[in-house]
Amino acid sequence: MQKSDMLNHARTVLRDNDRGTYTVPTHGLYPFQWNWDSALSALGFSHFDEARAWTEIDTLMAHQWDDGMVPHIIFHEPDDGYFPGPDVWGTDRPTPTSGITQPPVAGFAVRRIHDRATDRDLADRMARTLVPKIHAWHQWFYRCRDPQGTGLVALLHPWESGRDNSADWDEAFARVPTDGVGTFTRRDTTHANPAHRPTDDQYKRYIWLVQKFRSLDWDNRKLHDASPFQVVDPGFNAILIRSCADLADLAEVLNLPDIATQSRALADKALAAMDTLWSDAAGQYLCLDRRLGALVPSLSIGGILAAFAPLPLNRVQALSARIETLAQSCTYLVPSHDPTTPEFEGLRYWRGPVWLIVNYMIADGLIRAGEGAMAERIMQDCARLIVKSGFAEYHDPITAEPCGGAHFTWTAAMIIEIFSTRDLVS
């Protein structure tokens, strides 16, 4: 496939999933706006329609809560093809939203789109509107998800991580009860192969947490301490740190000195704290179970995605070596879970498959640290996967089998983002 064919196809995916002011991840399986999907998809739009890219993030931020939280789903239009819908969340918003958040990659995306914008006036205007809102979201994280001031934020629901069913959560998630959840009908398994999706037992626990938080009126001053699930994910924290650091840079350019100083301070404190998640034995970062006060010995991609943060170079070099080791047990980098471990499942969502968005963020961090050869290898693997199996939601790292939803927005956006500046892909 030629570069132009691949890019044209990717643009078609974005256009088909465009609902005017927001994009759905894919038709059917995910019929609303998702938080980090939107931020990453905007990167794809920005290569051929800058105004549309800005609108994507502007729509997301228009649904920010008064306390600063930006929800993980915005239910713009009713659609009963998805569970749990607005009636389960009960967040009482003008436009219904979920009540939890997702990886805050918008700060990074806004800076990147602003940096390379050709319409400078539009870029400055949009960035000036968005930067204070994104900053308020970052401050919300450290206030509500790190009440002890450790420098690292906890996830209170696996869906917040964006890596919904990762093995990282298994132990902490087992402490979440299922009593009182009642019966419900999942919709995801009617759109995608159940063998690729989370289990029914996991779904009951997902819903228990939603009901718990709803019973506390979604008051974020109470949720952290009330949650039986409090996990500190290095990948998630790395995204937050990167976005804080990028927002600091962008705020300087825009002459917003207070935001610049505050963002830099948040990033610096968090970067220092990240080292408490490093494991020499694993050769990567690990999650921390905050309830137990112990690292989680689960070899997932969360500890490698950490490379997206401006970490010390020796740490990124060690992560590059770790990816080299993973390459020995798969065909396509980077598997979302180590294929040599018993938890690995090549087709099941975040327990093994490759996700292009994660590959992109890892590659970006590797380039910054001078690990360009590994970054290039990862990006070429992205192209090989798409050429072989199309714009799927995720792919088996050994067979390239396409999994989950097809015609997927952020997969296409990443191909545009990665290959807009490269030559032929094969």
Minimal distance in Å, beta carbon 237 to ligand GLC?
16
- 168 lines the binding site for ligand GLC (CB under 6 A): no
Comparing CB distances to ligand GLC, the nearer of 202 and 262 is 202
Query: Around Cβ 81, how many Cβ atoms within 10 Å?
Result: 15
Minimal distance in Å, beta carbon 97 to ligand GLC?
14
Q: Which pair of tokens denotes residue 243? A: 């976005």
- 338 lines the binding site for ligand GLC (CB under 6 A): no
Dihedral sign for Cα 66, 70, 76, 78, please.
Answer: negative
- 37 lines the binding site for ligand GLC (CB under 6 A): yes
Among 33-41, 135-143, 298-306, 332-340, the segment contacting ligand GLC (CB under 6 A) = 33-41
Could you say which of 164, 170, 249, 401 is catalytic?
Answer: 164
Could you say which of 50, 364, 393, 396 is catalytic?
Answer: 393
Q: Please select the residue that binds ligand GLC; options are 17, 22, 25, 345, rule is CB under 6 A.
A: 25
Minimal distance in Å, beta carbon 186 to ligand GLC?
13
Long-range CB contacts (within 8 A, 24+) of 314-318? 315/275, 315/278, 316/365, 316/366, 316/368, 316/369, 316/371, 317/369, 317/371, 318/283, 318/284
- 34 lines the binding site for ligand GLC (CB under 6 A): yes
Minimal distance in Å, beta carbon 393 to ligand GLC?
7
- 36 lines the binding site for ligand GLC (CB under 6 A): yes
DSSP label at residue 30: B
Distance CA 38, CA 250 (A): 20
**Contact positions with ligand GLC (CB under 6 A) in 145-164:** 162, 164
Nearest to 329 by CA among 349, 348, 346: 346
Comparing CB distances to ligand GLC, the nearer of 25 and 44 is 25
C-alpha 394 chain-centroid distance: 13
Minimal distance in Å, beta carbon 93 to ligand GLC?
19
Distance CA 289, CA 296 (A): 6
DSSP assignments along 78-109, one per residue = --TTSSS-HHHH----SS-B-SS-----HHHH
Active site residue 393: yes
Comparing CB distances to ligand GLC, the nearer of 140 and 169 is 169
Catalog residues that contact ligand GLC under the rule CB under 6 A: 25, 30, 34, 36-37, 162, 164
Q: Give me the active site residues, please.
A: 164, 393
